[in-house]
Amino acid sequence: MDLLDTLTAKGLRGEVPTREEALAVLATTDDELLDVVAAAGKVRRRWFGRRVKLNYLVNLKSGLCPEDCSYCSQRLGSKAEILKYTWLKPDQAADAARAGVAGGAKRVCLVASGRGPTDRDIDRVTDTMAAIKEADPAVEICVCLGLLSDNQAERLKAAGADAYNHNLNTSENTYGTITKTHTYADRVDTVRKAHGAGLSACSGLIAGMGESDEDLVDVVFALRELGSDSVPVNFLIPFEGTPLAKEWNLTPQRCLRILAMVRFVNPDTEVRIAGGREVHLRSMQPLGLHIANSIFLGDYLTSEGQAGQADLDMIKDAGFEVEGAGEATLPRHRADVAEAARAAHAGGSCGTAASACGSGGGCGPCGGHAHAPEAAPEAVPAQNGAEDELRGDLVKVRRRGAGTELAPNA
């Protein structure tokens, strides 16, 4: 197939496809799916070998959020019966993190619900990072606290944070249909603040919210332009009690096409299969490893993943290996680009990311919409004939680990 030959050649050179080529990946048929996976796999192996980076989530503060992100079980008005608790103490968070690292995780992701942190919250997270790094100085820490105010990113960097997560989630064009309490531009601003402070930017998307192929391509190109070093690809977990509970728009095949498109647009960037991996890829998860080079180990923020040991078994059975603490995730040239971009931001220059007004970062809303619709969030009809049956039985609320008396899943 000419398309896949072209995409493979570009990916092996670290070049980005055209928007039309990215759209064409999403339009491939099921008969072509294994060829698509194989082509993306060549690009993945060129830059990341057979390594899989493991990341471990610690939900520092769960639920009770004043924001209205319609995909989120922690949102204002959510009826989802998730765990709700306020800030974990540093030793509690460090215990949870230790379990993840012992299970093979190289990066710990410290997440708290909310619009954004107060300066007191930054103090709390500073103490938590100190407790984690005291036990294991080599562990990477990524922080996700929502929208950042001035100087908060610098404080996190000085306290030992390696990265900051803030997802753009969807295209600028549709952002206002999923969130009204903040904008896409707010999210972009926070990613830039993190970059400017010298933090590695982790920013990704959520697929399955009723968006079009064009929306997916828009947000993925925006993430590329923004200079995200790590792109988490979430597949919507339709929680009962949230506005998107009935949005079952994904099939395993559709998820693989989306992952492949993200890989082709980000050939030498960390691509992570994030939330919804078990729910939507299901028995096709190992094929996802041929495209993405990073996953979460164990549970997610408010939902359960498969057992941590099952993740490790899957990696081994599929012929991959867990990335070690001493191994660099990004290829050298890509790490240099990331470092230069951070330096440019820190020096007051917008650099390449400045033109990327399209994707925000973190847990918070990425709004940017000057004219958010008044109506309640309403999904766009599913594309690509990907409607799945309602499978609420696959969504399991997290009842173990952080915020409970039960051992974490790692």
Question: What is the DSSP track for 112-153?
Answer: E-SSS--HHHHHHHHHHHHHHHHH-TT-EEEEE-SSPPTTHH
The answer to whether residue 75 forms part of the interface with ligand SF4 (CB under 6 A) is yes
Which of 104, 364, 367, 401: binder of ligand SF4 (CB under 6 A)?
364
- Min separation Cβ 367 and ligand SF4, Å: 11
- Min separation Cβ 232 and ligand SF4, Å: 13
CA distances to 61, 97, 124, 186 from 88, in Å: 7, 12, 9, 27
Which of 8, 28, 55, 74: binder of ligand SF4 (CB under 6 A)?
74
3-state secondary structure (DSSP) of residue 381:
coil
- Min separation Cβ 64 and ligand SF4, Å: 9
Q: Are 194 and 385 in contact (CB under 8 A)?
A: no
Cβ nearer to ligand SF4, comparing 56 with 71? 71
Cβ nearer to ligand SF4, comparing 42 with 115? 115
Which of 69, 94, 105, 161: binder of ligand SF4 (CB under 6 A)?
69
d(CA 39, CA 58): 34
Q: Tell which residue, 224, 154, 226, 218, has the closest CA to residue 187.
A: 226
Tokens of 339: 């470092």
The answer to whether residue 209 forms part of the interface with ligand SF4 (CB under 6 A) is no
Give the total of residues touching ligand SF4 (CB under 6 A).
12
Q: Which residue type does 322 have?
A: V
Q: Residue 52's beta-bridge partner residues?
A: 322
- Min separation Cβ 325 and ligand SF4, Å: 29
Q: Tell which residue, 236, 228, 284, has the closest CA to residue 70.
A: 236
Cβ nearer to ligand SF4, comparing 62 with 230? 62
Q: Residue 144's beta-bridge partner residues?
A: 111
Q: Are 233 and 271 in contact (CB under 8 A)?
A: yes
- Min separation Cβ 165 and ligand SF4, Å: 11
Cβ nearer to ligand SF4, comparing 72 with 108? 72
Q: For the segment 108-137, give every residue that binds ligand SF4 (CB under 6 A).
A: 113, 115
The answer to whether residue 206 forms part of the interface with ligand SF4 (CB under 6 A) is no
Q: Catalytic amino acids?
A: 65, 69, 72, 109, 142, 202, 272
Residue with tokens 């295209």: 171
User: In the complex, which residues of this chain contact ligand SF4 (CB under 6 A)?
Assistant: 65, 67, 69, 72, 74-75, 113, 115, 146, 363-365
